[in-house]
Structure 1
């Protein structure tokens, strides 16, 4: 399963050889609701196929559709879906993403990918990760206020202490002290080090390897806060060796295997929510100060010009707002109107893509916490 945080925005916003196929649908986690999901998927694939036949020769159509049909027949996949599905395909590329939030049904063939539903999910401010850790193995979860699911670790992240250190444990170093010798009786021997120190040293080496790999392959690419879920003694050791700036000071003092999935999500969100609220408050205050100095704006047309020019450092967009329109990539001017397919041409999402392309930060904010009523709030670099 592909990780959207690793592909987006760098890969999916780049230039891709057409045709680009984008398929989105809501899915269900449990039986019997999930029985209809593969049927709906096949119907959407048929829509893609009909669009391709109208514009492309058979030798281009068949290889693209075959990957979709193989996924449609994968029972194991459809028995483990989440709340939404995104599939993006092009010549030489096929990406499948299970999503923790529902998305509207959509099947589009175009010269570029339709990435806006992914953007809405990936840039939401309430996302976080949970690192489940003990002396033997590691697990990683990703979630939001409503859902928390285990995700596949990047290949470079060791899953177990054996993967990290190999079959050989640290050689024991035993120091022997002798006392009690003499006329009072036989000499007594006391050993220090040995197995306990060996185990502690191996755990420390394992935790260091995990920390480095998680930082490089998960925390930095996603930018998400990281919550540690482990026994208290493992918290102490891991925090001693960790250099991950995304690791939160607060954690969960129990291993994920010891609680239900719902209980883990509840505990995680209780811990993450204060950081989430503090981050939103800071962003809103920063926007207010920037706007007062002429370094911020909430007019979508004005923000569009700044985004195309690369001036937007941070963009807040309303999670529930859509503004039909399109941006002229040459001038940055906005054309508003009642478009035939507003989901494909939502000005706020186009703004977000421009900001990401130019190295800015995008945060999708709940409507009740937006500092403006226009759906957008931009903080400029200059």
Structure 2
């Protein structure tokens, strides 16, 4: 799964070439619908070409810009191995695509910057989480939302098993940790075998999980999303001990995860993170309400966009139901707005821009339905200072 990471989102935010094309497509994992996905993508590319030509771009220039995306149409393997959604970003000399663990609405946006609002559930603090399924024979990492889950390719240096991590010799392999089942159904570790002893085996497991944690830093760097562990009960406290990731949920999914499908892991993980998300969102809303009568919080779009640009936004509350188009001059920090309508003069998605800058500068973003926002405005923010 070629998932979108926070570092990659930050790189997308740095792209300044206009026009910037963003395409979103719901995709299918299996079945006959997979045959329709490239057809719908082809139609979106045709629409993009029409818009580019209509804006005054020459046919050859438009064809060159769209060529990397056109090439995906000739790759059957690409379309046969999709997740639930696809995001494609392209500009001059810049092309990226990312599979998504949740469905998105079919959408084409051509503007002066990449449009990322549909992928924000991957990075908001009230819906995006990870599941790490651990055993001595297998390591799997998933990222999920309330409604979907997808497996993430492990970074190259992340071990896929204890044997691969420690390159156990024959003598060490004689000492194994097997999983028994108590009457309650929870797994527990039973150490046995001819070898250096139970304590040494615990040390080997600790070394193995430490290597797993080190390998996953490439993905977890600067992340704040909660992580749910899945594994037999003797492994989970050891991973808690060795991991440097700050937001591991205390409660985990106990029992061997090796035969659990992603959807089964998600079903067990969501109740663990749901209350966490509800509390985090409640805290952010209450903090906004506490400071709204001061200079430390506002629901004014212009002030929020400028503050986000300067790294001042600590918490951003964003309506999932709205977008505000306009322009932003980074030299004067002047913001112009044109309600929810894109035009040649108003060609920047301001809420999108504020969200990207907030994430880029280490702030937290929360997405809410408009009727759950603490204000009639589609955006609200708490400032760092």
CA positional deviation for 1:169: 7.1
SS of residue in 2 equivalent to 1:378: strand
1:5 and 1:221 in contact (8 A); partners too = no
Aligned to 1:104: 105
CA gap of 1:288–1:354, structure 2 versus 1, over 3 A, is same
**What's the counterpart of residue 10 of structure 1?**
10
Cα distance per residue 1:214-273 (max 9 Å; x no partner): 2x2122243211110001111133223233212111111023333343332111001111
Task: Tell me the residue number matched to 1:373.
Answer: 376
How far the C-alpha of 1:314 sits from its partner, in A, is 1.7
Residue 55 of structure 1 is matched in structure 2 by 57
Which residue is equivalent to 2:84? 83
Counterparts of 1:82-231 in structure 2 under 5 Å?
Answer: 82-109=83-110, 112-119=113-120, 121-123=122-124, 125-166=126-167, 168=169, 194=196, 196-214=198-216, 216-231=217-232
| Aligned: 1:242 with 2:221 | no
Q: TM-score, normalised by structure 2?
A: 0.82
Task: Give the deviation of 1:10 after TM superposition.
Answer: 1.9
For structure 1, which segment, 191-200 or 321-330, has the greater mean C-alpha deviation from structure 2 after superposition?
191-200
What pairs up with 1:20-39 in 2 under 5 angstroms? 20-39=20-39
1:124 offset after TM fit, Å? 5.7
Partner of 1:177: none
Instruction: Sort the Cα spacing of 1:69 and 1:357 in 2 relative to 1 into closer, same or farther, 3 A.
Output: same
Counterpart Cα distance in 2 of 1:169 and 1:218: 33
Superposition deviation, residue 167 in structure 1: 5.4
- 1:341–1:137 distance in 2 versus 1, CA, 3 Å: farther
Deviation at 1:324, TM superposition (A): 4.2
Matched, 1:290 2:291: yes
Name the stretch that deviates more: 68-77 or 243-252.
68-77
1:109/1:276 CA distance change after superposition, 3 Å: closer
Aligned partners of 2:134 and 2:231 also within 8 Å: yes
Indicate whether 1:352 and 2:360 are aligned: no
Structure 2 residue runs without a partner (length 5+): 176-192
Query: Shift in Å at residue 279 of structure 1?
Result: 0.8
From the superposition, tell whether residues 365 and 219 of structure 1 become closer, same or farther in structure 2 (CA, over 3 Å).
farther
Q: Which moved more, 1:21-30 or 1:302-311?
A: 302-311
Q: How far apart, in 2, do the equivalents of 1:143 and 1:133 lie?
A: 17
Q: Say whether the 8 Å CA contact 2:102–2:149 is kept in structure 1.
A: no
Confirm or deny: 8 A CA contact 1:339 1:345 kept in the other structure. Answer: no
Change (3 A) 1:293 1:339: closer
**Structure 2 Cα separation of the partners of residues 335 and 19 of structure 1:** 20
Distance change (3 Å), C-alpha of 1:335 and 1:4: same
| C-alpha distance in 1 between matches for 2:2 and 2:194 | 48
Question: Are the counterparts in 1 of residues 112 and 347 from structure 2 also a CA contact under 8 Å?
Answer: no
Q: CA distance change for structure 1 residues 353 and 156 in 2, over 3 Å: closer, same or farther?
A: same
How large is the Cα RMSD of the aligned pairs?
Answer: 3.2
Distance 1:166 1:50, change over 3 A: farther
Distance 1:169 1:11, change over 3 A: farther
Aligned residues: 364
Larger Rg: 1
Maintained 8 Å contact 1:327/1:333: yes
C-alpha separation in 2, matches of 1:6 and 1:310: 16
1:367 and 1:85 mapped to 2: Cα distance?
25
| In 2, Cα distance between equivalents of 1:227 and 1:283 | 22
For 2:306 and 2:110, how far apart are their aligned partners in 1?
28
Counterpart-to-counterpart distance in 2, 1:295 and 1:348: 19
Q: How far did 1:209 drift?
A: 0.8
Distance in 1, matches of 2:125 and 2:276, equals: 14
After TM superposition, the score normalised by the length of structure 1 is 0.82
Query: Which 10-residue stretch deviates more, 83-92 or 32-41?
Result: 83-92
1:108 CA displacement: 4.6
